[in-house]
Amino acid sequence: MKRFKLTLEYDGTGYVGWQVQPNGPSIQGTLAGALEALLGERVAVEAAGRTDSGVHALGQVACFSTARELPLKAYWMGLNAHLPPDIAVVAAEEVPLDFDPRRWSRGKRYRYRVSNRRSRSPLRRHTHWELFMPLDVEAMRAGAQHLLGRHDFSAFRAADCEAAHAVREVRALDVEGRAGDEITFTVNGTAFLKHMVRNLVGTLVEVGRGKRPPAWVGEVLAGRDRTRAGITAPAHGLSLLEVFYGEGPHPHGADADEA
């Protein structure tokens, strides 16, 4: 028996998310089907994080175990021949049999993109949140500083989030770009609560619109009340960029997350 780690890119537009669900195609189900076609057997497929419907990935990590003996390139080039155009394996490697893509993770990096043009863009409709009012990038950057570090992020978790606790560490939150063009929010953290990144962005956009001062972000964080924060930014602006790993399982385990 061998275990393999796959790095995936995908356009999440046409999927119900990573996890298999009864109401439509999923990334997990599509990948499992492609692996079955390649291997001639059904295998369990796990991921580093469960992305929501419409969320994209440039560096999702998935893994599976098999007794089949195939050259490593078969899990890259061969598997891509069985996948649709909106999902691709970009790297494959053999890992220890006890490798767990979620529990061994040391952190993740996400990017959220906003299109801030005065008119809509047909080319950005599936990849950006389109906001036509001017946004103050410097104010959002100042607001983001209040979110750095280890905190209780209860104010930014989804109502149906099942995580045992809301303490997370945001290592970096960079706001780049300029009003009237593309603005990107890049977040690096140990783990994320359900909808956490999208709720952070929705809150910072309130600051960017001039409706709230930057210091308000810190007040929302301290209040731990979801109703005081901004709206949940649309899923399609979000991409999972990278999953970070160290040697062996994370010493404190890892919390399940959904973006």
pLDDT given for residue 11 in this prediction = 99
Does residue 189 share a domain with residue 88? no
The residue from 75, 95, 115 where one domain ends is 95
User: How large is the average pLDDT for residues 32-52?
Assistant: 97
Does residue 140 share a domain with residue 46? no
**Continuous H helices in 40-172:** 77-80, 137-144
The residue from 74, 95, 116 where one domain ends is 95
Q: Which of 34, 43, 23, 128 is nearest to 76 (CA)?
A: 34
- Residues classed as catalytic: 52
Q: At what angle do helices 137-144 and 196-208 cross, to 10 degrees?
A: 130
Does residue 33 share a domain with residue 71? yes
Find all residues with CB under 8 Å of 194, minimum gap 6, and list them.
157, 158, 160, 161, 162, 163, 257, 258, 259
Residue 256 lies in a domain: no
Does residue 125 share a domain with residue 207? yes
User: How large is the average pLDDT for residues 100-106?
Assistant: 96
Does residue 111 share a domain with residue 65? no
253: confidence class by pLDDT, cuts 50, 70, 90: low
- Which residue segment(s) compose the domain that 143 sits in? 106-245
254: confidence class by pLDDT, cuts 50, 70, 90: low
Does residue 66 share a domain with residue 113? no
Percent of the chain with pLDDT over 90: 86
Residue 253 lies in a domain: no
Percent of the chain with pLDDT over 70: 95
Amino acid at the residue 214: P
Does residue 119 share a domain with residue 53? no
The overall pTM is greater than 0.75: yes
Number of domains in the chain: 2
What helix, strand, coil percent values describe the chain, rounded to 5?
25, 30, 45
pLDDT given for residue 160 in this prediction = 86
Neighbours of 53 (CB within 10 A): 18
**Which domain CATH number covers 85?**
3.30.70.580
Residue 35 lies in a domain: yes
User: How large is the average pLDDT for residues 114-139?
Assistant: 94
173: confidence class by pLDDT, cuts 50, 70, 90: very high
Residue 140 lies in a domain: yes
Residue 192 lies in a domain: yes
Asked if the model's pLDDT at residue 252 lies above 70, the reply is: no
Asked if the model's pLDDT at residue 200 lies above 70, the reply is: yes
Residue 237 lies in a domain: yes
Asked if the model's pLDDT at residue 130 lies above 90, the reply is: yes
pLDDT given for residue 170 in this prediction = 98
User: How large is the average pLDDT for residues 75-100?
Assistant: 96
- For residue 116, what are its two tokens? 């801030």
Does residue 236 share a domain with residue 127? yes
Burial class for 158, CB neighbours closer than 10 Å (0-12, 13-18, 19+): middle
- For residue 173, what are its two tokens? 């939150």
| pLDDT tens readout for residues 201-228 | 999 999 999 999 999 999 999 999 999 9
User: How large is the average pLDDT for residues 103-131?
Assistant: 95
Does residue 25 share a domain with residue 151? no
Does residue 222 share a domain with residue 135? yes
The residue from 69, 95, 121 where one domain ends is 95
The pLDDT mean for the chain works out to 94
